[in-house]
C-alpha cells in the first residue's frame, strides 16, 4: 500500500515536471517579447537588450529552463502585463470564486446524475430509462457556453426569476474573507447576501455541469446494471432485505467506485470548463482570468492559469486514488503492474483499460 502511494506520488511529480516543461515551451513560442514588455513601450534597442539580459533571455534555452523551473518552484509565476500584479496573487484573488462555482456545479452534478443513473438502471428498458437516456443524450450535446446564454435568456431576460450575471446584486456587499462570495456571506452572518449570491450561482453552475451530469449518469447507469445483475444482489434479495436497501446499500455502493474515478477527474475538467462559462456570466474566476489573458496576449497570466488547473487536476486524481484505496479493499494490490496509468481515460473505453 505504501508502495502504491509512493509510486503514484512519483508519477505525480513526473507529470508536474512535464507540466512545467510544457509551460516553459509555451512561454518560448507564445508571441510577445517579454524583454520588450519589461523594458517598456518606448525603450531603445539598448534598453530592450539590457532588459533581456536582466531576465536571462539571452542565455541558452536549457539554462533559461532551469531558471524558469526554479522560479516556478518558488511560486513566482511572473507578472501580468494586464493587471501589473504578480500572476500568483492574481490567481489567489480569482481562484476562490471559481472553486465556489465548481463546487456548486459538482453538487448539482451529484444530486441529478446519481439518482438518474440508478433510476435508469433499475427501470432498464422502461419509460423512465428512456427519459433518463434522452436527458443524458441532450445534456452531453449542448455546448456549455450556448446553454449559459440560453439560460440567461429564459430565466433572467424573459422570466426575470434569476439574476442575469455577476456575483451579487447592485447594492449588496460582502466583505472579502475567502473570496468565495457565498462562503463570505455566511461567515459574515449576512443571510440575505448569502441568498443573493446563491441565486447568482445557479445559472452558471447549471451551464457548467450539464455535460458532466451526462457522463456521470451514464457511468452510474452502466455500473449499476452490472451491480444489479450480480450474485450478491440475488443473495441480498434472498435474505429478504428491503428493496431500497438492496439497491442502495448493495448495488449503489459498488456501482459508485467507477463513478468516483470519473467524478475526481471531472473536478479538474470543470475548473477548465469555467473558461466557457465565467465570462458569459460576468463572474470573476480563473476561467475569466485566463480568457482575458488570452485575448490580451498576457503570456504569464495564461501559463499561470494552465499550471494552476493542471495542479488541481493532478491533486484531485491523487485524492481519488487514495479514496478508492480506502473504499475498495480489492484495490489494495499485492500485484505490481507496470506502468499503471496515472490518469485514466475519461471516456468509457469499452472495457479496455
Q: Which residues contact other proteins (rule: CB under 8 A)?
A: 11, 14-15, 18-19, 21-22, 26, 29-31, 124-126, 137-138, 140-147, 149-150, 152-153, 157, 211, 222, 225-226, 234, 237, 268-269, 271-273, 275-276, 279-280, 290-291, 294-295, 297, 302-303, 305-306, 309-310, 313-314, 339, 341-343, 345-347, 349-353
| Residue 161: DSSP 8-state | -
CB of 170 to other proteins, least distance (A): 18
- Shortest reach from residue 339's CB to other proteins, in Å: 5
β-sheet bridge partners, residue 79: 86
If the CB atoms of residues 8 and 47 are measured against other proteins, the closer one turns out to be 8
Between the CA of residue 51 and those of 34, 270, 307, 342, what are the distances in Å? 9, 39, 26, 41
Residue 258 burial (CB count, 10 A): 18
User: What's the CA gap between 349 and 168, in Å, rounded?
Assistant: 43
Which of 164, 204, 209, 178 lies closest to 93, judged by CA? 178
Cell numbers for 239: 435474505
**Rounded least distance, CB 175 to other proteins, Å:** 32
What's the closest the beta carbon of residue 176 comes to other proteins, in angstroms? Answer: 26
Q: How far apart are CA 235 and CA 233, in angstroms?
A: 5
In DSSP notation, 10-63 reads HHHHHHHHHHHHHHHHHHHHSSS-HHHHHH-TT--HHHHHHHHHHHTTTS-HHH
Choice between 248 and 343, CB closer to other proteins: 343
- What Rg, from alpha-carbon coordinates, does the chain have? 24
User: Among residues 173 and 229, whose Cβ is nearest to other proteins?
Assistant: 229
Q: Whose Cβ is closer to other proteins: residue 24's or residue 194's?
A: 24
Give the residue with the Cβ less far from other proteins, 222 or 328.
222
Measured from the CB atom, is 110 or 156 closer to other proteins?
A: 156
- Give me the least distance between CB of 237 and other proteins, in Å please: 8
Nearest approach, Cβ of 332 to other proteins (angstroms)?
A: 23
Amino acid at each position: 500500500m505504501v508502495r502504491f502511494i509512493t509510486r503514484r506520488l512519483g508519477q505525480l511529480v513526473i507529470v508536474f515536471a512535464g507540466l512545467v516543461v510544457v509551460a516553459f515551451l509555451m512561454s518560448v513560442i507564445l508571441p510577445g517579447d517579454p524583454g520588450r514588455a519589461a523594458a517598456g513601450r518606448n525603450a531603445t534597442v539598448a534598453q530592450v537588450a539590457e532588459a533581456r539580459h536582466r531576465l536571462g533571455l539571452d542565455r541558452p534555452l536549457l539554462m533559461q529552463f532551469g531558471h524558469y523551473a526554479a522560479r516556478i518552484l518558488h511560486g513566482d509565476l511572473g507578472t501580468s502585463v494586464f493587471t501589473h500584479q504578480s500572476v500568483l496573487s492574481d490567481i489567489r484573488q480569482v481562484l476562490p470564486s471559481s472553486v465556489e462555482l465548481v463546487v456548486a456545479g459538482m453538487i448539482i452534478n451529484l444530486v441529478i446524475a446519481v439518482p438518474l443513473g440508478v433510476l435508469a438502471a433499475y427501470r432498464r428498458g422502461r419509460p423512465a430509462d428512456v427519459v433518463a437516456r434522452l436527458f443524458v443524450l441532450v445534456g452531453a450535446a449542448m455546448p456549455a457556453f450556448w446553454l449559459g446564454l440560453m439560460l440567461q435568456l429564459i430565466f433572467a431576460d424573459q422570466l426575470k426569476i434569476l439574476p442575469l450575471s455577476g456575483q451579487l446584486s447592485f447594492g449588496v456587499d460582502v466583505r472579502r474573507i475567502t473570496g468565495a462570495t457565498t462562503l463570505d456571506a455566511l461567515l459574515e452572518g449576512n443571510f440575505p447576501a448569502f441568498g443573493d449570491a446563491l441565486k447568482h450561482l445557479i445559472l452558471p453552475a447549471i451551464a457548467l455541469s450539464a455535460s458532466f451530469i451526462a457522463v456521470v449518469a451514464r457511468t452510474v447507469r452502466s455500473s449499476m446494471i452490472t451491480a444489479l445483475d450480480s450474485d450478491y444482489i440475488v443473495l441480498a434479495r434472498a435474505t429478504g432485505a428491503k428493496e431500497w436497501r438492496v439497491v442502495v446499500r448493495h448495488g449503489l455502493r459498488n456501482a459508485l467506485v467507477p463513478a468516483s474515478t470519473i467524478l475526481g477527474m471531472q473536478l479538474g475538467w470543470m475548473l477548465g470548463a469555467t473558461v466557457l462559462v465565467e465570462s458569459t456570466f460576468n463572474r470573476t474566476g480563473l476561467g475569466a482570468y485566463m480568457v482575458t489573458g488570452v485575448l490580451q496576449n498576457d503570456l504569464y497570466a495564461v501559463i499561470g492559469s494552465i499550471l494552476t488547473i493542471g495542479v488541481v487536476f493532478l491533486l484531485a486524481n491523487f485524492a481519488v486514488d487514495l479514496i478508492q484505496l480506502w473504499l475498495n479493499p480489492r484495490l489494495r494490490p499485492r500485484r505490481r503492474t507496470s506502468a499503471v496509468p496515472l490518469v485514466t481515460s475519461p471516456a468509457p473505453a469499452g472495457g479496455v483499460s
